[in-house]
Amino acid sequence: MSDPAVPTRPARSYKAAADILSGRDPVLRRLVAQAGPVRVNPPAETHFAALVRAILYQQLAGAAARAIHGRLIAALGGEVTPERFLSLSSQTLRAVGLSANKAASMRDLATKVRDGSVVLDPAGLRGQGDDEVVAMLAGVRGIGTWTAQMFLMFQLRRLDVWPAGDLGVRKGFGLAWGMPTPTPKRLEALGDPYRPYRSVVAWYCWRAAELYGGAAESALTS
């Protein structure tokens, strides 16, 4: 274990954070050796487009979600913007396969981005802490805490997100650290020693659930 008295430069990437944590914690050191480096791809779409995708994929199997998403992008002419989305009729949204609830959620998101109550421009987001972003996004119909946390981790690449309510993270933590699956409240406290890099721990908890618990690989770890 590294000497806690020796200061370390704050990590700015998942890999650097994983290196710091694996030097401090033998469980994470083993996980990093077994699972390899964190795989978090750079964002490939705008923040608005990422949230539209997140809403669409909720409670849908991968193939069906991909098909609907492809039809929606085509209907938008490849321009996934609030203005373009709000220009689509309800009939068009039904035709691409969106349920009434998901269409309403996306309309709510688009409206709130356009009127400024939801800020998605990079400069505006840089000025907001993680809890502020979660609270802002959770005010959108169809976006809950978990979706907002995944947006922070994978779209904004924030390093200290701790989705304590996620069952995969809870199971993986229990398997890796050799304890019964903790409750969300218990896991919240267990994550404290890993600040400010809890996103890395969460990712390796998902991998632990796959490696030790037989969970199927997911989009979160691939």
Residue 194 per-residue DSSP state: G
Contact between 47 and 137 (Cβ < 8 Å): no
What is the spatial distance between Cα 108 and Cα 141, in angstroms, rounded to a whole number? 6
**Which pTM does this prediction carry?**
0.91
The most distant pair of C-alpha atoms in the chain lies apart, rounded to whole Å, by: 63
Please check whether residues 54 and 148 belong to one and the same domain: yes
Q: Which two tokens stand for residue 149?
A: 């946390």
What is the spatial distance between Cα 213 and Cα 52, in angstroms, rounded to a whole number? 31
Please check whether residues 51 and 142 belong to one and the same domain: yes
- Out of 136, 155, 174, a domain closes at 155
Q: So what's the pLDDT on residue 4? A: 41
What percent of the chain is predicted at pLDDT more than 70? 96
- Out of 138, 155, 172, a domain closes at 155
Is residue 144 assigned to a domain?
Answer: yes
Degrees to nearest 5, angle at CA 167 with 162 and 171: 95
Domain of 107 in residue numbering reads as 47-155
Task: Name which of 203, 200, 214 is nearest 169 in CA terms.
Answer: 203
Q: Which two tokens stand for residue 85?
A: 């989305």
> Does the structure show a pLDDT above 50 at 14?
yes
Please check whether residues 64 and 147 belong to one and the same domain: yes
Contact between 31 and 208 (Cβ < 8 Å): yes
CA 22 from chain centre, in angstroms, equals 22
Question: If you average pLDDT over residues 84-88, what whole number do you get?
Answer: 98
59's CB contacts (< 8 A; 6+ apart) are none
Q: How many domains does the chain have?
A: 2
Please check whether residues 108 and 177 belong to one and the same domain: no
- Out of 137, 155, 173, a domain closes at 155
Please check whether residues 141 and 74 belong to one and the same domain: yes
Per-residue pLDDT tens digits for 157-216: 999 999 999 999 999 999 999 999 999 999 999 999 999 999 999 999 999 999 999 877
Q: Nearest 10 degrees: CA dihedral of 76, 78, 82, 85?
A: 10
Per-residue pLDDT tens digits for 33-65: 999 999 998 899 999 999 999 999 998 978 999
Please check whether residues 135 and 74 belong to one and the same domain: yes
